[in-house]
Amino acid sequence: MKCKDWKIKIFEFLDGALGEAEASKVLSHIESCPECRRFHEEHSAVGNLVSAHVENAAPSPFTWSKIEHRITSEPEAVPGRAILDYLRMPRFAYGLASALVLICLAALIQLRGPSSEELQLLAEMDAYTIEAQGNPFINMRDPGEDNPFFSYESGSVNPFDNKAEAKK
């Protein structure tokens, strides 16, 4: 067994978790191995220090009676929170204040009238009209070679026109 494994056994020995046979094996290894002996001495000194303080650290009778009372008594009912309690919470209050500020800003933006530049632009848009009569693509004078829908024989620009097909 390696010293790493013996150190685990030493901890178990210090806790008193080993039987007599294993405890005697651990003690014989501690006597033969200087590294494990030093490890045992360090940890047994710490364990002795802790156990000396723990044995003398009993709670006072008043503290012990409070502990017993809390263990034996029934749990108290926790009252529900009121709405005002939520308003006293900082995160909720800051969030509510921020939401109100945003709502007020949005209302101010909506309530202000249009500026003079916006009114002028709206007037120009209202005055602008497009005068178009019919479809400008139906009566093309020179359709060019790029238009595959124009037929020179029928003069039609609509290949799905059944009247043009009937004339042929």
Domain ranges of the chain: 3-55, 83-125
Letter for the amino acid at 68? E
Q: pTM for the full model?
A: 0.32
Judged by phi (left if over 0) then psi (alpha if -120 to 50, else beta), residue 18 lies in beta
Q: What confidence category does residue 111 fall into, taking pLDDT thresholds of 50, 70 and 90?
A: confident
Q: Is 138 a residue whose pLDDT tops 90?
A: no
pLDDT of the residue at 59: 75
Dihedral of the alpha carbons of 28, 30, 34, 37, in degrees to the nearest 10: -160
CB 154 within 8 A of CB 168: yes
- Per the model's pLDDT, the better-predicted residue between 77 and 16 turns out to be 16
In eight-state DSSP terms, residue 74 is P
Lowest mean pLDDT among 8-12, 45-49, 162-166: 162-166
Task: For residue range 26-39, list pLDDT tens digits in order.
Answer: 888 888 888 888 88
Task: For residue range 71-89, list pLDDT tens digits in order.
Answer: 888 777 666 667 666 667 7
- Tell me which fold the domain 3-55 belongs to: Arc Repressor Mutant, subunit A (1.10.10)
Segments in the chain forming alpha helices (H): 3-15, 20-32, 34-55, 61-72, 83-87, 90-111, 116-127, 162-167
Q: Which residues contact 137 (CB under 8 A, 6 or more apart)?
A: 157
Lowest mean pLDDT among 36-40, 111-115, 157-161: 157-161
